[in-house]
Amino acid sequence: MIGAVVAAETSDYQTKVVVKGLDNPWSIAFISNNDWLVTERSGALRRIINGQLDVNPVAGVPDVLYAGQGGLSEIFLHPKFDVNRFVYLSFSAADTTDRKGNALVIVRGRLQGNKLSDVTTIFKSDPLRKTAAHYGARIQFLADGTMLITSGDGFNYREQAQSLDNHFGKLLRLNDDGSIPSDNPFLSTPGALPEIWSYGHRNPQGLIIAKDGTVFEHEHGPKGGDELNIIQPGKNYGWPAITYGVDYSGATISPFTEKPGMEQPIKYWVPSIAPSDMVLYQGAMFPQWVGSLFVSALVPGDVRRLAMSENKVISEDIMFSEFGRIRSIAEAPDGSLILAVDGNEGSLIRVSADSP
CA terminus-to-terminus distance, the chain: 39
pLDDT at position 189 over 90: yes
Q: Are 34 and 2 in contact (CB under 8 A)?
A: no
Distance between CA 243 and CA 257 in Å, rounded? Answer: 5
Distance between CA 131 and CA 156 in Å, rounded? Answer: 7
Q: Predicted confidence band at 109 (pLDDT cuts at 50, 70, 90)?
A: very high
Task: Give the residue among 251, 349, 266, 247 at the shortest CA–CA distance from 306.
Answer: 266
> Three-class SS of residue 35?
strand
pLDDT at position 149 over 70: yes
- What proportion of the chain, given as a percentage, has pLDDT over 70? 96
As its CATH architecture, domain 5-352 has 6 Propeller (2.120)
pLDDT at position 139 over 70: yes
Q: Residue 325 — φ and ψ, nearest 5°?
A: -65, 120
Q: What is the pLDDT of residue 356?
A: 41
pLDDT at position 6 over 70: no
Task: Give the residue among 87, 74, 155, 104 at the shortest CA–CA distance from 328.
Answer: 74
Does residue 134 carry a catalytic annotation?
Answer: yes
Distance between CA 268 and CA 2 in Å, rounded? Answer: 6
Task: Give the residue among 186, 149, 148 at the shortest CA–CA distance from 164.
Answer: 186
Q: Please state the length of the chain.
A: 356
Q: What is the pLDDT of residue 12?
A: 83
Average pLDDT, the chain: 96
- Looking at residue 116, its amino acid is L
Given 134, 201, 218, 220, the catalytic residue: 134
Angle at 216 between CA 337 and CA 228, to 5 degrees: 95
> Three-class SS of residue 159?
helix
